[in-house]
Structure 1
Amino acid sequence: MRQLEGIKILLVDDEESILQFLELGLGNEGAIIKTATNGEAAISIAGAFKPHIVVLDVMMPQLNGFDTCQRLKENGNNIAIIMLTAKDDVADRVQGLRLGADDYLVKPFSFSELLARIHARIRNQFPMLLSAVRYGDFTLDDRRKEIKLGEEVLELSPTEYELLKLLLANHGSVLSKTVILDKVWGYDFGGEQNIVEVYVRSLREKLGDKEHRIIRTLRGAGYRMDL
């Protein structure tokens, strides 16, 4: 199953090598791709193409990513914008988010991380476009609130489902207990961080992950799901 079948993505970057790499990778996932090497071209293409997702570089000549983001959002397009930046600058991230960006990635980034961010944006803004998403041997159907391992439907509590969904969507990346608590239990959760360990242990039992090869513990850092 190709995970992005029918999803329209506009890639905007003045580096041809990055455009080619992302176009190939996302195209192999089934996405419909258009590319632009500058902001003005991106705005023109978006008007007719009507992308679901725009992957937008910040540092471009002429019209930069911030101005492009603002104009795309002002045009009333229902799009999700993921901005790319070459530096991990909090001020840049804040500015982009204030102008309407939906997410941020710092270069260099892994393709799997970008793919996970794209899926997150689709689930949030275009859930009707995704019936089921494959992550290795797992199949996640968010409309049915169901996760399969192989052909077997996992018997999960609502909290276990949300935790496993978070780990799957961010597979390959380390998630701290603080991030997990915020995403699954909510920022105002008043309990102990140990609750994360309890639920991870329960998930491992249901996945038959006795060796902790699927959900790995990185001491002092958090958890990483490997597929």
Structure 2
Amino acid sequence: MHLCLIDDDAALLATLSRGLSELGHECETFTSATAGVEHLLHPGSARPDVLLLDVMMPDLDGWEALARLRAGGFDAPVIYLSARREVDDRVRGLDLGADDYMVKPFALMELVARINAVVRRRGQRAPFTIGGLVVHRDRPRVELDGRTLDTSLREHAFLELLFSEPERVFSKAELLHELWEIDFDPRTNVVEVFIARLRRKLGPTCSGLVETVVREGYRLARETPQ
């Protein structure tokens, strides 16, 4: 998942970011709430799957930060991370539009469980994952070993097809219809060229995920490439 963390405690931020990254999440961090809010509200910024937000920060507190984000149309799930443990604080955070509130200190795996829970409650679809490959389903994004691949919309759609029906072999005619919306032309090699390009992008560790079934088509490999 793509996570955004805003906390003025640089040491905590580094620890959380490292731990979450090791679990396969992509993390962007801000020690300034003002900078974080400006980034998230910028029209060109990618929407994170979950925002982790501190409450007590010097330039802009978490209450005002969330109020500005929600007013600006930011609708991603938000989890407050705070040393403030009073019930009134938790209620205030939830009333402002947060999805959860965690009191510091906390265990990393509990945080991960809370992140997964708010994503499920929001009805977001979890990405397809196999090995180091992550294929998001709520946005056209493909990641490999923590880095974003430069895949096209059609390449993303193809990977979604394979993952959604892992036992199915997609024929060349089906792929031409599904991805290009054209009738089958036995003379065209557009599918073969497309597959070869995608395999190069996936690199040596994951190119084998796209398996060729001779005289039938393509499917998701039955075994994860090593």
Normalised by the size of structure 2, how large is the TM-score? 0.53
Which aligned pairs between 1:165-180 and structure 2 lie closer than 5 A? none
- Measure, in 1, the Cα distance between the counterparts of 2:26 and 2:129: 18
Q: Paired residue for 1:21?
A: 15
Alpha carbons of structure 1 residues 18 and 104: separation in structure 2 relative to 1, 3 Å = same
Q: Paired residue for 1:75?
A: 72
- Measure, in 2, the Cα distance between the counterparts of 1:23 and 1:126: 25
What's the secondary structure of 1:104's corresponding residue?
strand
User: Shift in Å at residue 126 of structure 1?
Assistant: 4.6
- Measure, in 2, the Cα distance between the counterparts of 1:86 and 1:62: 17
Is structure 2 residue 96 aligned with structure 1 residue 103?
Answer: no
What's the secondary structure of 1:129's corresponding residue?
coil
Is structure 2 residue 46 aligned with structure 1 residue 52?
Answer: no
- Measure, in 1, the Cα distance between the counterparts of 2:69 and 2:94: 13
- Measure, in 2, the Cα distance between the counterparts of 1:70 and 1:81: 12
User: Shift in Å at residue 128 of structure 1?
Assistant: 1.5
Overall identity of the aligned pairs, in %: 39
Q: Paired residue for 1:175?
A: none
Query: Which among 55, 61, 71 is matched to residue 64 of structure 1?
Result: 61
What's the secondary structure of 1:35's corresponding residue?
strand
Q: Paired residue for 1:129?
A: 126
Which aligned pairs between 1:133-152 and structure 2 lie closer than 5 A? none
Which aligned pairs between 1:37-48 and structure 2 lie closer than 5 A? 37-47=31-41, 48=45
What's the secondary structure of 2:93's corresponding residue?
helix
- Measure, in 1, the Cα distance between the counterparts of 2:129 and 2:122: 16
Deviation string, structure 1 residues 36-84 (Cα, Å, up to 9, x no partner)? 1121111122131311111000010021001111111121122010001
What's the secondary structure of 2:125's corresponding residue?
helix
- Counterpart contact for 1:123–1:130, Cα < 8 Å: no
Is structure 2 residue 29 aligned with structure 1 residue 32?
Answer: no
Q: Paired residue for 1:10?
A: 4
- Measure, in 2, the Cα distance between the counterparts of 1:115 and 1:49: 21
Q: Paired residue for 1:119?
A: 116
Deviation string, structure 1 residues 125-149 (Cα, Å, up to 9, x no partner)? 253134589xxxxxxxxxxxxxxxx
Root mean square deviation, CA, Å: 1.7
Deviation string, structure 1 residues 12-57 (Cα, Å, up to 9, x no partner)? 1001111101111111122121111121111122131311111000
Q: Which has the larger radius of gyration?
A: 2
AA at the equivalent of 2:56 = M
Q: Paired residue for 1:214?
A: none
- Measure, in 2, the Cα distance between the counterparts of 1:50 and 1:18: 23
Alpha carbons of structure 1 residues 126 and 30: separation in structure 2 relative to 1, 3 Å = farther
Runs of 4+ residues over 6 Å off in structure 1 = none
AA at the equivalent of 2:82 = T
- Measure, in 1, the Cα distance between the counterparts of 2:74 and 2:65: 13
- Measure, in 1, the Cα distance between the counterparts of 2:87 and 2:109: 23
